[in-house]
Each structure stands twice: as structure tokens, then as C-alpha cells.
Structure 1
Amino acid sequence: MGMLLSAVAVLVVTHVLINRVGAELYVPVCVVATAALVLLARLGGVTWDELGMGRSSVRRGLRWGLVLVGVVIVVYGVALAAPFTREAFVDRRVAGLSAGELLYRVFVRVPFGTVLLEEVAFRGVLWAVIRRRWGTGWATAGTSVLFGLWHIVPSRGLTRSNAAVGAVLGTGGTGVALSVGAAVVGTALAGVLFCELRRRSGSLIPSVALHCALNSAGYALAWTAARAG
């Protein structure tokens, strides 16, 4: 229990920091927090296999990961090509990025900041620690709920930045509350999927690959949609 509480404490502090520091410190904070969580787990006796980082599952994880990345690219491409779904990609937070800023987000901020921290934290350390004590079901449920709650702050501006969401829910207080609630539920369900990929493959690689593809390709397509529009 002590290791679990310590890991949650690290995440709480990290969450506060990444929502307060400048963009240039986002990735370093995420990397340091990830290292601290892994060190905490290893000192507590959690093995590399339990963390989803064991060598025995690398090949299987890479196979799963490649398939998942391909599926995301195809689905996103179809959605961007269809007029009735294209508007969902329009995000004001991305539209104003330069090509260099976009490349930084796609190839640095997302994989080495957001995805590294969230996958190691929720599908690696927390999942392994909870599973040890209460079993797989509780590990998946608990980490998925925490993953959903993790997205409360980032989703507060969704109705203003995404035209499609703002049009459906409105930009007032009620719309913001609904968008935050939808984001929490949606990311919690995504967490269940990521945990299942982790469980079935025995590796973090599939959930890392899927998470990275969803976020990075999402940035790239939002940027493309803004210019096409």
C-alpha cells in the first residue's frame, strides 16, 4: 500500500507541475517523473516483466504495436477525408502551430512527454502494483479511473478550442462541464483498452504505440485540417 500511495503522490505532484511550468519544461518533468516511478517500483520489488518492460515480450509487443499504428492511420485518414467528420479535427490549439512546432509535438512532446509518462505510470507501475495486491480486474478498473481523472484539467478548454465540440455542447459553463465529463469517461474507457492490450501482450509496447499514434497523428491531422479548411 505504501508503494501505491507513493506512486500516486508522485503523479499528483507531476500533474501540478506540468500544468504550471512552461512548455519547454514539460518533457523534462515527464521524463524525471517517469524515472522516479520506475525506480520506486523496482525498489519495491516489482520486476521488469510485471512492468511490461521485460525482454521476453518485446517481439510480441512490437507486432501488436505495428498493427495498431496502421489501424489508427487508416481510420484517421478516412475520417479526415469524409466531410461530415472532418470538422472534428479542427482544433484552434493546433491550427496556429508552425511546421517546426508541429514536428516537436508529434515527435518529442507526445512520445517522450505525454505517452511515456502516462503509459509507464498507469499501465506500468500502478497497474503492476495494484495487480499484485488485488488482481487484474482491480488493476484495470483502478488505473483507468485514475487515467480519466488525470484528464480533467487538460479538457477544460475543449469547447473553446474544438469547433465541433463547442457547436454540440456550447461554450458556457454547462458545455464545459459536459465536455470535461465526456473527456473523463472517454479517457477512462481508453484506459481499459490500453490495460487490456497490456495484459494480452504482456508488454507496454502496444499501448504505447496506440497512444502515441492517436495523439501524434491527431495533432498532424488537426494541423492539416486547419490548413485545408
Structure 2
Amino acid sequence: MKGNGPARPRTAPATLAGAVAVLAAANVINNRLAPRLAPLTSAAATGALVALARGDGLSWSELGLRDGPRGLRIGGALAAAVAAAYGAGIAIPATRRFFRDERALSLSRARVLEEALLQVPVGTVLLEEAGFRGALYGLLARSHGEAAATVVSSALFGLWHVLPAIDMAAANPALSALAAGEAPEDGPPAGPSPAETARVVAGSVLSTGLAGVLFCVLRRHGGLAAPALLHTATNSLGYLFARLAPAEPPA
């Protein structure tokens, strides 16, 4: 009898567990223990994840390091679309409040530049793309196929945002209310209740999990460059447009 083709290479469970452990440790360090050191932590964690994946037999292509020119074109076009959407958002009074994030507004100009040009690209995007769409996706795809890799890596990407969502609930009440499925209230923002924070976290996990699915699709069509450019634009431009958004008139 003929077989059904060659068996899939299997990823060692210890390698997957190690990758998830590296990501979990980096998440706690970057969000709670040493946020300003996120670029260093993320670079070290990225190196560990790449070493784990390569040690388990993944090629550079399986890690997503391919299709660079195509990925740059796709990612660049999407980044431009993000900039246009943000510009429209702060120009429309009804949506302007969603861009006024206190985390950005409380920073000096130098710190905003640090966040947009260092913390986001190196401290956030490098690790998240190399981790979730690179090593983790590649390891899962090799053993279980691309559909399973997309679902599992995106679900974990959603859970990765629990700690940032707790911070967002306090820093951007209007956007937090939207994430929780509520209508933002006019007037001075009040601090979120525990129930409101829980709804924000649930909404953030769901929305970032869906974003993870989109990033995985982009990875398949343009390697890691495509989701990395969109991811960087979404986060880094958020700092810029938070500063550009006109203040709400006093009630």
C-alpha cells in the first residue's frame, strides 16, 4: 500500500513550551518590571526564540524571513493607509477623543520620539513579530499546518495583551469604553471600575487576537516585513497623532 505522503516534521513539545515561556517572561518584564528596558529585553528574547526555532530545524524561510521586497511594498501601502485613517480620525470631532491617550500626552517630546522610534519598533514589534509570526508560527505550521499555526499564535497574541489592556483602561477612557462595547461618555473621564477593566481586557484580547490573524495572513503573502511595517505604523503613529489631536473644548 502507498502511504499518504511524507509525514510532517514534528516540533519538539519542549521547544514550543520554551518559546511560550520566553514570550511570557518578556511580557511581564516589559509591562511590569522594566518597561524602559524593553528594547534590550525584546532583543534578548528574540535571539532566544530564533535560537530555539533554528535548533529545532526551522529554516530562515520558515521563520518568515523571505519575500522582503514584496513585504515592504505591502507593508508600506498599509502603513500609509493607517496614517491616512489616523489623520481623518483626529480631524473629525466625533472620533478625536479616541486618539487622546494619556500615556502619550504625558510624555515629553524626547520621550515620544523614544517611544515611536525605539520602544515600539524594537521593544514591541521586533519581539511580537519574531515571536508570534516568526518562531511560534513556524514551529506550529511545520507540525500542524498553517491554519493551526494561525489560530494558536493569534490566540496567544491576544492573551499577550492582557497587561497592556489594563494600562489602557486607565490611560484612554474613551477608547477603553469602545473596546468594552460601551458608548464613551462626555465630560471628564472617570477611572474604570474593576468590571469595566475586565470588559476592556476581554475586548482587547479579542481585537488583538483578530489582528494576529490579519498579521498571519500578511506573513504568508509578504514574510515578516509586511506585518512588521503595519504593526509599527499602527503603534508608533498612535503617539504622533495623540499629540496632534486637538484638545476637547471644556464642557
Which category of TM-score, normalised to the shorter sequence, fits these structures?
Answer: over 0.9
Are 2:72 and 1:62 equivalent residues in the alignment?
Answer: yes
- The root-mean-square deviation of aligned C-alpha atoms, in Å, is 1.7
1:78 & 1:34 partners in 2: Cα distance? 35
- Partner SS for 2:135: helix
CA contact (8 A) 2:100 2:172 kept: yes
Tell me how far apart the structure 1 counterparts of residues 25 and 64 of structure 2 sit (CA, whole Å).
24
Would you say how many aligned residue pairs link Structure 1 and Structure 2? 226
Q: Distance between the aligned counterparts of 2:184 and 2:196, measured in 1?
A: 8
Q: Taking structure 1 as reference, are residues 131 and 41 closer, same or farther at Cα in structure 2, changes over 3 Å only? A: same
1:15-43 Cα deviation digits (max 9, x unpaired): 22223333331210011000110111111
Matched, 1:6 2:26: no
Indicate the percent of aligned positions where both proteins have the same amino acid. Answer: 42
Corresponding position of 1:204? 224
How many angstroms apart in 2 are the aligned matches of 1:23 and 1:6?
22
Q: Counterpart of 1:212 in structure 2: which amino acid?
A: T
1:59 & 1:227 partners in 2: Cα distance?
40
Matched, 1:152 2:162: yes
Query: Are 2:49 and 2:131, in contact at CA under 8 Å, matched by a contact in 1?
Result: yes
For residue 219 of structure 1, the aligned residue among 235, 239, 248 is: 239
Q: 1:81 to 1:186 in 2, by over 3 A?
A: same
Deviation at 1:228, TM superposition (A): 7.8
Distance (whole Å) between structure 2 residues aligned to residue 14 and residue 36 of structure 1 = 11
Aligned-partner Cα distance in 1 for 2:96–2:228: 26
TM-score, normalised by the number of residues in structure 1: 0.93
Separation (CA, whole Å) in 2 of partners of 1:35 and 1:121:
10
Q: Which runs of 5+ in 2 are unaligned?
A: 1-12, 178-182
Give deviations 1:123-160, integer Å, cap 9, x for gaps: 00000000011111100000000000000011113232
Does the Cα contact within 8 Å between 1:151 and 1:184 map onto a contact in 2? yes
Q: Aligned partners of 1:91 and 1:226: how far apart in 2?
A: 12
Kept in 2, the 8 Å contact 1:87–1:163? The answer is no
What is the alpha-carbon distance in structure 2 between the residues aligned to residue 30 and residue 182 of structure 1?
25
Separation of aligned partners in 1, 2:144 and 2:49: 20
1:226 Cα deviation after fit: 6.1
Give the Cα separation in 2 of the matches to 1:196 and 1:125.
Answer: 15
Q: Give, in whole Å, the separation in 2 of the partners of 1:20 and 1:87.
A: 27
Higher helix content, 1 or 2: 1
